């Protein structure tokens, strides 16, 4: 039995869809959910729905019983996910889960000096807990989703240009759907015991590279401006962006500038059996295909 947590989220749901496409029987796939009304599509596909809550340890132990492989998709509640994921790992061990797979993230700096330390801490702690649990594990170090770029840059970059304090550093962002397919491939094959995989793109590219691609595709000059963090924060704040988002965006920009997401090696191509989606193809789909 395979159980996927976060099954109504983008990555969890996509992974389940890839499992089904690979011919895995729906009655051997379980989805951990909190609200069944949000999982009607999974139910219609024949996936087994199990109700559980990261904040309810007993519900996790019950849901995890009889599970061979547990895909623990990192939670979205940044403030509380450290405790929530600790509950999940300990519950998995108590329930007798044989193999736990965790979606962590790519980074270079594990210290408190990281510009995204608040986000990194839960991942680092969860990885350590998994490795100390005695369960067989696989950890995916997911690079930043290319899917997140429009959130950082806006939907009107063809009119306004790119405005983001990431400097000229190159990163290996990858598409979430490619990661989901790779994870499904691992879940359905052998030889991944106690391994860590880097799910990064095969190419590194900067924000200026993106502006150049957009310029060529649109046949007009698309600028890239990398302001100081202070100017960036002030500009977004004056535009009415909530400060919690401004700080998060600025933190990721600084992490990019410091090379946190620069890909030095990747396992994504090998796990997919093909090249991951390129930055050019992603930008074309987002900004030119309507």
Sequence-distant (6+) residues with CB within 8 A of 236 are: 245, 246, 249
Range of the domain at 106: 2-142
> Does a structural domain hold residue 227?
yes
Closest CA to 263 of 104, 143, 102: 143
Structure tokens given for 88:
């999940």
Residue 111 confidence (pLDDT) above 60: yes
Q: Are residues 110 and 151 in the same domain?
A: no
CATH assignment of the domain containing 246:
3.90.25.10
Q: Are residues 138 and 208 in the same domain?
A: no
Q: Are residues 14 and 125 in the same domain?
A: yes
Q: Are residues 163 and 97 in the same domain?
A: no
pLDDT tens readout for residues 179-233: 999 999 999 999 999 999 999 999 999 999 999 999 999 999 999 999 999 999 9
Neighbours of 86 (CB within 10 A): 16
Out of 121, 142, 163, a domain closes at 142
Rounded to two decimals, the pTM is 0.94
> Does a structural domain hold residue 129?
yes
C-alpha 253/C-alpha 247 separation (Å) is 10
> Does a structural domain hold residue 161?
yes
Q: Are residues 20 and 130 in the same domain?
A: yes
Quote the number of domains for the chain: 2
Q: Are residues 95 and 168 in the same domain?
A: no
Sign of the C-alpha dihedral, residues 206, 211, 214, 219?
Answer: negative
> Does a structural domain hold residue 188?
no
Q: Are residues 153 and 101 in the same domain?
A: no
State what percent of residues in the chain have pLDDT above 90: 84
**Exposed, middle or buried by CB within 10 Å (0-12, 13-18, 19+), for 200?**
buried
Long-range residue pairs from 47-51, CB within 8 A, at least 24 positions apart, any chain: 47/7, 47/16, 47/20, 50/3
Q: Are residues 12 and 127 in the same domain?
A: yes
* Confidence category of residue 290, pLDDT binned at 50, 70, 90: low
Structure tokens given for 158:
């063809």
Q: Are residues 125 and 213 in the same domain?
A: no
> Does a structural domain hold residue 100?
yes
Q: Are residues 76 and 211 in the same domain?
A: no
C-alpha 151/C-alpha 30 separation (Å) is 31
> Does a structural domain hold residue 155?
yes
| Phi, psi angle pair for 183, to nearest 5° | -65, -40
CATH assignment of the domain containing 72:
3.40.50.720
Q: Which helix (H) or strand (E) holds 48?
A: strand 48-51
pLDDT tens readout for residues 65-105: 999 999 999 988 888 889 999 999 999 999 999 999 999 99
Q: Are residues 90 and 153 in the same domain?
A: no
Q: Are residues 8 and 52 in the same domain?
A: yes
Residue 78: the pLDDT is: 82
Give mean pLDDT, residues 93-121.
92
Give per-residue burial for 270-285: e unless 16+ CB within 10 Å, then b. Answer: ebbeeebbbbbebbee
> Does a structural domain hold residue 197?
no
> Does a structural domain hold residue 64?
yes
């Amino acid at each position: 039995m395979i159980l996927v947590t976060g099954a109504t989220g983008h990555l969890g749901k996509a992974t389940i869809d890839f499992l089904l496409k690979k011919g895995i029987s729906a009655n051997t796939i379980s989805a951990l959910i909190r609200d069944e009304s949000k999982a009607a599509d999974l139910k219609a596909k024949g996936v087994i729905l199990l109700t559980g809550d990261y904040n309810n340890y007993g519900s996790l132990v019950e849901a995890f019983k009889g599970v061979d492989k547990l895909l623990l998709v990192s939670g979205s509640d940044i403030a509380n996910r450290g405790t929530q994921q600790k509950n999940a790992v300990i519950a998995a061990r108590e329930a007798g889960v044989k193999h736990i797979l965790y979606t962590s993230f790519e980074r270079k700096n594990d210290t408190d000096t990281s510009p995204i330390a608040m986000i990194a801490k839960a991942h680092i702690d969860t990885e350590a807990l998994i490795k100390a649990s005695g369960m067989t594990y696989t950890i995916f170090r997911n690079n930043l989703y290319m899917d997140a770029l429009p959130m950082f840059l806006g939907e009107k970059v063809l009119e306004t240009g790119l405005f983001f304090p990431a400097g000229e550093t190159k990163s290996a962002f990858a598409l979430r759907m490619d990661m989901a397919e790779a994870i499904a491939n691992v879940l359905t094959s052998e030889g991944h015991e106690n391994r860590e995989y880097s799910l990064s793109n095969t190419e590194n590219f900067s924000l200026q590279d993106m502006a150049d691609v957009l310029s060529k595709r649109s046949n007009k000059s698309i600028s890239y401006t990398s302001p100081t963090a202070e100017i960036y924060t002030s500009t977004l704040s004056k535009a009415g962006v909530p400060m919690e988002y401004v700080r998060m965006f600025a933190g990721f920009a600084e992490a990019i500038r410091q090379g946190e997401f620069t890909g030095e090696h990747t396992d994504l191509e090998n796990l997919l059996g093909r090249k991951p989606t390129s930055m050019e193809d992603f930008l074309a789909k987002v900004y030119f295909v309507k």
